[in-house]
Amino acid sequence: MGFGSSFARDWTISKTSRFFGKNRIADPLLARLAEDPSPEIREAVSRHTYSLGQEHGCGFRERVQAEDILTIVESFLITIGVPYERKGNTQITIRTDFTIPADHPLCTPLIAGAYLRGLLAGLLPDWVSEEADGAIRYLARK
């Protein structure tokens, strides 16, 4: 051990760095912003989250073959626990009741909904989306 170091000091530094590690501040901050009563703040959070999702969707679309896009969509929906129904290769319907566990990375229904809409816009740019009755239906253009 170097000068002025000890196991207790090193352990304390290690524990502190984990406490302030990845997303320790960002996740609760985003959750608070998304739940802020100010419509301007909520709209800004939603707009930026949608944009981030769209960027991620475009990135996925560039890296996978066209026939695998719906598999990426399904994988994401299964991973985050959003109910959906797929009809062949021309339609996918997603429930918009975004109830998410508190420790989930998407942290709030506002963020989950905006990110998912953006991700799908990036993954399925040629599809039409229709939102009604608690669901979003994506239809392939003919």
Gyration radius of the chain's alpha carbons: 20
**pLDDT value at position 1?**
47
Reported as a pLDDT band with limits 50, 70 and 90, residue 124 is very high
Q: Which residue has the higher pLDDT, 42 or 106?
A: 42
37-45: Cβ within 8 A, 24+ apart: 42/110, 45/110, 45/111, 45/114
What are the backbone angles phi and psi of residue 138, rounded to the nearest 5°? -105, 130
When pLDDT is averaged across residues 67-87 and rounded to a whole number, the result is 87
When pLDDT is averaged across residues 9-18 and rounded to a whole number, the result is 71
136: part of which helix (H) or strand (E)?
strand 135-140
When pLDDT is averaged across residues 99-120 and rounded to a whole number, the result is 76
92 contacts 86 by C-beta, under 8 angstroms: yes
Q: Which residue has the higher pLDDT, 33 or 27?
A: 33
Architecture of domain 7-140: 2-Layer Sandwich (3.30)
Q: Which residue has the higher pLDDT, 22 or 38?
A: 38
When pLDDT is averaged across residues 106-116 and rounded to a whole number, the result is 80
Alpha-carbon span 35 to 121, nearest angstrom: 24
Where do the structural domains in the chain lie, given as residue ranges? 7-140
**HSE (CB half, 13 Å, CA atoms) of 14?**
7
Q: Is residue 59 pLDDT above 70, yes or no?
A: yes
Q: Kindly provide the residue ranges of all beta strands, DSSP E only, lying in 49-103, ordered along the sequence.
A: 84-87, 91-95
Q: Is residue 66 pLDDT above 50, yes or no?
A: yes
Alpha-carbon span 78 to 93, nearest angstrom: 13
**Residue given tokens 């229904």 in the structure block:** 109
pTM for this entry: 0.77
Reported as a pLDDT band with limits 50, 70 and 90, residue 3 is low
Share of the chain above pLDDT 90, in %: 37
